[in-house]
Amino acid sequence: MNIVLLGSTGRLGNLIHNQLNTENIPTFVLRKEILSANKDFQNFFSNLPNETIILDVSLPTGTEHLIAQVKLLNSEIKNKLKGIVIGTTGHTNAQQEKIKDLSNEFPVCLVSNFSKGVFLFDQILNAKTSNGLTVCDLARSLGFDLALNEIHHTQKKDAPSGTAVSLANTAKLPLERLSSTRVGNVIGEHTLYFSQDSEMLEIKHSAHSRKLFALGAIQICKNMYAKSPVAGLLSKEGFFTQ
């Protein structure tokens, strides 16, 4: 497996790059200046080995530029790509449509959070209870009021976070029931509240180290490589585990 890494200068990208080097996984850094010049981009990809996965942890604009350039590659170069993992969040509707269009040609896994704990959080909310309802639907039937809050560091650009939006969608929460806090250097906390007059229940995930996101991103790439999926917009559920 070979990795093309876009966004290596960011916090997460730098951690991923270091971890890839630690694991001796061949890595090719796609720099911004290469991404912005079609000829340089073509040359960069023409010199890549086969069995390559693109890992994008840049910004929504970086994803958009990546898609535009990849679409221009010839079929011989495109055949080198086994898949694309996109870990950027905050895409506009137009950018989301471009990602969907790209998935007509390549396996594309769009991941709002590389944490295994957040993946488990989402699975808990999706799980069916003994009467066939999801946890959140059962809570509503029992009279609980639901709301979700997320906390991140002050440098995080999107609010609410992509993770919070994803969890809210799973919980069938309207966006007005979702709140965001930006403070200090908090890596990430997501809390779903179930409240009624006499009691409250919380499901909470806290990230204690950014390295967990790097490890999760690489694991998804490894599993995508091992499973060799066909083109399509793929759910992360299939790539957190073998």
Do both 230 and 184 map to the same domain?
Answer: no
CATH number assigned to the domain comprising residue 97: 3.40.50.720
Is 116 catalytic? The answer is: no
Whether the full predicted model's pTM is greater than 0.75, yes or no, is yes
The active-site residue, picked from 78, 98, 156, 211, is 156
Do both 39 and 84 map to the same domain?
Answer: yes
User: What is the 8-class DSSP label of residue 231?
Assistant: S
The Cα angle at residue 10 between residues 239 and 50, in degrees rounded to 5: 50
Structure confidence by residue, pLDDT tens digits, 39-88: 899 999 998 999 999 999 999 999 999 999 999 999 999 999 999 999 98
Structure confidence by residue, pLDDT tens digits, 74-100: 999 999 999 999 998 888 999 999 999
pLDDT value of position 230: 92
Q: In which band, very low, low, confident or very high, does the pLDDT at 157 lie, cut at 50, 70 and 90?
A: confident
Which residues have a Cβ under 8 Å from the Cβ of 134 and sit 6 or more positions away?
125, 126, 127, 128
pLDDT value of position 239: 63
Do both 108 and 15 map to the same domain?
Answer: yes
Range of the domain at 72: 2-114+211-238
* Mean pLDDT of all residues belonging to the chain: 92
Tell me whether the omega of the peptide bond preceding residue 160 falls within 30 degrees of 0, making it cis. Answer: yes
Q: In which band, very low, low, confident or very high, does the pLDDT at 37 lie, cut at 50, 70 and 90?
A: confident
Do both 103 and 190 map to the same domain?
Answer: no
Do both 107 and 227 map to the same domain?
Answer: yes
Do both 84 and 153 map to the same domain?
Answer: no
pLDDT value of position 17: 97
Do both 216 and 201 map to the same domain?
Answer: no
Do both 202 and 128 map to the same domain?
Answer: yes
pLDDT value of position 225: 93
pLDDT value of position 242: 60
Do both 185 and 92 map to the same domain?
Answer: no
Element (H, E) at 18: helix 11-22
C-alpha distances out from residue 36 to 22, 42, 70, 108, 231, Å: 29, 11, 12, 22, 26
Number of domains in the chain: 2
The two three-digit tokens of residue 215, written as one number = 């490890």
Is 156 catalytic? The answer is: yes
The active-site residue, picked from 152, 190, 205, 236, is 152
Do both 100 and 165 map to the same domain?
Answer: no
